[in-house]
Amino acid sequence: MSNILKKLKLGRKKKTDKNKDEQYRLVKDIPTQRTETTDAGEQESTVDSAMPSSSGVEVSGETGLHILRTILSEQVNPAAMPNISVSQEWRDKYLQEIDQFVENHFPTLPAEGPRGSQLKQIQDFLKSAQSMIYDEVLRLTPALKDAGLLDHLKDSYSRHIFTNLDLLLNRDLSVKEIFYLLLWAKDLFFSSESKLTVYDPLLLTGGFERAKHKLLQKLQNDLSTNLQEILRYDEQHGHNEDSMNDETFISVHIDVIKCLNSAILEAEMFGLTLRHAVQILCNEELHGFVQKYVDTENERLTKVKFTEKNSVHLFRIFNTCMQLRCYAAQITPDINNSDVYSSTVCMLQKLEDNASSIVQKVMNCLAQANLEMYFKKRNRHTDTLMEVIQGQCASLPETASEIKTVIVKIAYDSVSKVYLECLMKTKFRNLEDCWGNAEEKITEDVQYFHETFSDLVKKK
């Protein structure tokens, strides 16, 4: 009888052990272990891979590390695995496993190519990296969140991203390529759909600061080169009377504004801080351009004799200086505290004043040549003088309405001044001989000049 009871107990024990082995089997590749009770009352076991995590089973230590590797390797559905419990003793090994996974599965950087030719490869690499990261974070969230490992996964991806961005920035990238890197990183970390969070603020700020520094370096070189090319082209083609069409008349300030505005608008897409930095850079580059432009034009003004036939070049200087002064004010973040802005405006104003004084001399000579004869001979008219002045204004493009107003004012002042001088030098008896009723004629002339010059300003 005792032998029969022993056999029954032994059979129940084997059956119980077998059930526990089946209950706690982890994955089919892990050898099944018998349940053993230690002195502390702890049990070590394996669990069936088909067992859902909602069963409440938790694993830790070496077994949990094996489960983590299995989950990361995509061999099983993370939601079907037991919960991982990370003890302080094993935490570093779990984190190292995640770091190794991120490093091994991150897309490879494209091969470096010539400057300006890498944008497509960089775009493909970054899109691939972003898609992979989003997919992996989404896949691993159920298994890693409760274990307290999800934040480290995201942080590890973030660090690897900035490591790769630094490697890209060390290449000879174009400004456009660097702008793309910045905008991509901004979208990755700050868009409403972002799956990543940076837990080290200095990692984020440091990465963007390095990219900003590299961008400003490249941008400065590009702006300087482009502005120098504008000057070179203007010296070759901007002073040819035969080619002084509307496009040439406004080409200098239009090309400068396009060059600088392009950089500012791209920077604004990233953020106000970068736009502010680029504005300061553009302000400095504009200052350098203006310095060279002013020196070139002042030298030319001393060498060329200007008359009413070539005074359109003076009008062009007027217009360019006026437009660049206005633009300098627009791109300067703090006008009242900017020495660069003040210096730029001062140089342009002096050149404008120099050109203005020459225009006045041209108008004075033109007025004297016509009005002196008008006061000395009978049947003379001021129509010839006004036709010449109207021809001067007609040489201005339709877009130069502001400069036209200035030129008309200078011409009006010159004609009025010369007319008064001639009137004062001529005896009243001689005026009566030439004009008959001198007082009436003077009144008519004053009215004629006023109406004609007013019409010139209004005329498009």
Q: How many CA atoms lie within 13 A of 214 on its CB side?
A: 24
Quick check: 301 and 359 in contact, CB under 8 A?
no
**Strand, coil or helix: 352:** helix
Contacts of 36 (CB under 8 A, 6+ apart): 43, 44
E strand or H helix at 83: strand 83-84
Do the Cβ atoms of 381 and 448 come closer than 8 Å?
no
Q: According to the model, what pLDDT value does residue 241 have?
A: 65
Q: Which residues contact 108 (CB under 8 A, 6 or more apart)?
A: none
| β pairing state of 83-84 and 58-59 | parallel
Residue type, 227: L
Q: Is 366:407 a contact under the CB 8 Å cutoff?
A: no
Dump pLDDT digits (tens) for 26-75. Answer: 333 443 333 344 444 444 433 343 344 444 566 667 877 887 888 888 76
Within a 13 Å sphere around the CA of 303, how many CA atoms are in the beta-carbon half? 6
pTM > 0.85: no
Tokens of 352: 């404008």
Identify the pLDDT of residue 34.
Answer: 37
Q: What number of helices (H) and strands (E) belong to the chain?
A: 15, 4
Give the CATH architecture of domain 217-358.
Orthogonal Bundle (1.10)
In 302-318, which positions are buried (b, 16+ CB within 10 angstroms) versus exposed (e)? eeeebebeebbbbbbbb
Q: Would you list the domain boundaries of the chain?
A: 1-105, 107-216, 217-358, 360-458
pLDDT at 233: 94
Where the chain has pLDDT below 50, the residues are 1-55
Cα 326–Cα 331–Cα 334 angle in degrees, nearest 5: 105
Its sign, for the CA torsion 361, 365, 368, 370, is negative
Cβ pair 256, 324 in contact under 8 A: yes
Tokens 């077998």 map to which residue? 18
pLDDT at res. 23: 35
pLDDT of residue 32: 36
